[in-house]
Amino acid sequence: MVSWPVITVDGPGGAGKGTLSRMLADHFGWHLLDSGALYRITGYACLQAGVDWADEPAVAEVARQLDTRFVTRADGEVGVLYAGRDVTAAIRSEDGGRGASVVAALPSVRDALLERQRDFRQARGLIADGRDMGTVVFPDAPLKIFLTASAEERARRRYEQLRGKGESVSLPRLLEDIKERDARDSSRAVAPLVPACDAVVIDSTATPADAVFEAVLLEASRRGLSA
């Protein structure tokens, strides 16, 4: 069986993982896995079904039954469909992020989504965006990136993103939420948010997206990965 190459891009929310992953997928012509979206959809689906995020068995069952797929929209962005409906905006909200962080801390939910994530490894390769892609889901990936940035910079980016969508948001509240999620993600018992031992760590706080992209391409070339 052919084992297609994977580049994993892990790190906290707002570090630029999504932008970098899309750039890499476009460059290599590989598949793209937004693993965070699967957890966001799980949280969203629970809300729609009236399932409490703290009810682990029920949440795990929701995760196992997810009717979801990713599509490339006309604007080039990755859209998310749940039960045939476009839920991209709904799951990208701050509530969607909180829901994802809560359900992602549940071991049985992570187990339910593990094989679904690994199924994205198809010809000719995969860019996997998440928080435990290099440590748990694809530990044999030939290139693992851990992208980080200061909490203040990530809050500022999120603030500008939400303001651009016309949402009324508080920068101090966003910063508080990011710090709370960081603490929850890094301290959970299962698959905590930490760099893989062989990951290349990149701090994007003061580094433009294009420069981060070029740095990753250089690392990929060193490992014999090419478009």
Rounded CA-CA distance 133/117 in Å is 9
pLDDT at residue 76, rounded to an integer: 67
Rounded CA-CA distance 164/162 in Å is 5
pLDDT at residue 155, rounded to an integer: 96
List the domain boundaries for the chain: 6-221
Is CATH 3.40.50.10380 the right assignment for the domain spanning 6-221? no
Residue matched to tokens 């203040």 = 152
pLDDT at residue 1, rounded to an integer: 54
pLDDT at residue 39, rounded to an integer: 92
**Gyration radius (Cα) of the chain, Å:** 17
pLDDT by residue for the chain (227 residues), tens only, comes to 568 999 999 999 899 999 999 999 999 999 999 898 899 999 999 999 999 999 999 999 999 999 888 877 777 677 888 988 999 888 887 778 788 888 988 999 999 999 889 989 999 999 999 999 999 999 999 999 999 999 999 999 999 988 888 888 899 999 999 999 899 888 887 788 999 999 999 999 999 999 999 999 999 999 999 87
Rounded CA-CA distance 119/31 in Å is 11
Contacts of 132 (CB under 8 A, 6+ apart): 10, 110, 191, 193
Rounded CA-CA distance 141/67 in Å is 27
